[in-house]
Amino acid sequence: MKKDTLLEIILGTIGGLIFAVGMCMCLIPEWNLFHVGVVIAIIGFIVLLCIIPVYRKSHPKKEHAPVNWVIVLTWVIGVVGALVMGFGMSRVMVGDASGSDMIIGIIVGVVGLLICVLNYPIYSYIKANKSEN
């Protein structure tokens, strides 16, 4: 592993954790730390932005290849799955969830999780069929 790759991993991990803690501070009203959370989240975002020059240094600019629509479809499926799972989790966790909210939230969350889990097999299937044609 190259030194630049390790630096990218370290910056991504630290920046992501700082950003996530800042967002939790903003979004959990019981903590009463909204303004401090905004500052912490901005610091985490700045740390994440520090990855860009490190990445550009270690990965020279390449010519653009044609768009790989299989990868685009994989990203779309992943984002949809994450949004569906997040909706299900929010039904369970936000406010005083009733019994029906809990059941609906768990079912929707599991469906979103299945979409995310099945994303790679879908990608593999499409890629295998595309290469045969």
Say which residues have a Cβ less than 8 Å from residue 55's Cβ, sequence separation at least 6: 4, 8
Longest alpha-carbon distance in the chain: 58
**Per-domain boundaries in the chain:** 1-62, 64-133
> What is d(CA 2, CA 7) in angstroms, rounded to the nearest whole number?
9
Instruction: Record the tokens describing residue 75, joined without a space.
Output: 């990203």
Q: Which residue has the higher pLDDT, 133 or 77?
A: 77
Residue pLDDT, tens place only, 94-132: 777 688 888 999 999 999 999 999 999 999 999 888 877
Residue pLDDT, tens place only, 83-94: 999 999 988 887
The CB density around residue 30, as the number of other CB atoms within 10 Å, is 5
> What is d(CA 7, CA 83) in angstroms, rounded to the nearest whole number?
30
Share of the chain above pLDDT 90, in %: 61
Q: Are 85 and 113 in contact (CB under 8 A)?
A: yes
Say which residues have a Cβ less than 8 Å from residue 47's Cβ, sequence separation at least 6: 11, 14, 15, 18, 19
Q: What is the pTM of this model?
A: 0.57
* Side-chain-side CA neighbours of residue 91 (13 Å): 20
